[in-house]
Amino acid sequence: MAERIPPDVWEKFDAALQREVLADRPAEVSVLIVLTPVTDHPSGPAVTRGEAVDAMRRAFGRRAEAVVATLVASGGRDIREFWLNHTVAARLSIPSLLAAAGRPEVRQVLLDSPRQAEIVAEH
């Protein structure tokens, strides 16, 4: 499978996603698509915190728009946007994954898998 994935796209996949694609050849994968962050944030004494947050949300929305459109057009499911950490989560087929990962706005693609948290009880 990896031999059919362009090297520049393959490099965007985290190790867990690479293993998943190579080992299981899944019909679909759940991923977190990390976008390159927008660096032009409003600042200065005249900008309130609320205005700055709104501007960052809008900037993320503009940045994510083409990626989300690609996901929708290629049959992505369960698409969710997270402006605070510049990610888009989705459930994708491999062709959809390749289409999204090939976009210039995409910095990295992570396998979105359940994580276990260890809870330490104090005695």
Lookup: tokens for 119: 């809870």
Averaged pLDDT for residues 111-120: 71
Torsions phi, psi for 27 (to 5 deg): -70, -35
- Provide the pLDDT for residue 41: 60
Who has greater pLDDT, 56 or 103?
Answer: 103
Separation between Cα atoms, residue 90 and residue 93, nearest integer Å: 10
* Region 2-40+49-111: CATH code: 3.30.70.80
* pTM, 2 dp: 0.80
Residues making up the chain, counted from first to last: 123
Residues 4, 95: contact at Cβ < 8 Å? no
Cα torsion angle, 86, 91, 96, 97, sign = positive
